[in-house]
Amino acid sequence: MDKREIPVSQANRLINSGPVILVTSIKDNQPNIITLAWNTPLSHSPMLVGISIGKGRYSHTIIENSKEFIINVPPLELLEKVHQCGTISGREGDKFKAVKLTPEKSCRLKAPIIAECIGHLECKVKDIFDVGDHSLFVGQVVAASAAKDFFDVCWRIDKVHLIAHLGGNKYQISGKPIQVE
Ligand SMILES: Cc1cc2nc3c(=O)[nH]c(=O)nc-3n(C[C@H](O)[C@H](O)[C@H](O)COP(=O)(O)O)c2cc1C
């Protein structure tokens, strides 16, 4: 197999293909949204998830102080808004208004969920690890919900497309479900 060298600065793109998420947080009654490609499950019991946020992001400051965040899973229909939320900062104003998304009360936290998203994980911050120019926020999931039509035991990707980030302004969508017997 012929292989070519990839710049280390783009090495993450080889494993970038989990779903892109929109993470909501809140400061002084003003909610914010950040687009994140770098997210992962970490533990079943307790249910822990990890999100990696650049130290300069407004969401970094908010979540560090509020100690909570919500992972919202966007369907393909929200692709443009996903990209917008990842290119403007909540420091410049209300991102919900700017991108026309709807904040809705969450079950357990102060931060809102995004009504147009199809899945939600409400998380309390358990740990924060310094990882280079980012921080890894470990969240304990305290409530979860998903659209009945699109999730039974897992995502119904025959009915809904999730978005994955390839890098830069390139994305891919989830394809065909395959079951191993
Ligand atoms: C598809 C996509 C994925 C992104 N993934 C991440 C990520 O995993 N971590 C991160 O810190 N920033 C990521 N970003 C950049 C932030 O979303 C962006 O800097 C955002 O404007 C920060 O918003 P805030 O300042 O309101 O928190 C991503 C952007 C895009 C478009």
pLDDT digits (tens, 9 = 90+) for 134-157: 999 999 999 999 999 999 989 999
Give 8-173's CATH code, choosing from 3.40.50.10470, 2.60.40.2300, 1.10.1740.10, 2.30.110.10: 2.30.110.10
d(CA 76, CA 37): 15
CA atoms within 13 A on the CB side of 110: 14
pLDDT digits (tens, 9 = 90+) for 55-95: 999 999 999 999 999 999 999 999 999 999 999 999 999 99
d(CA 130, CA 153): 34
CA of 105 from ligand 1 middle (Å) equals 23
Residue 32 pairs in a beta bridge with 25
CA of 117 from ligand 1 middle (Å) equals 17
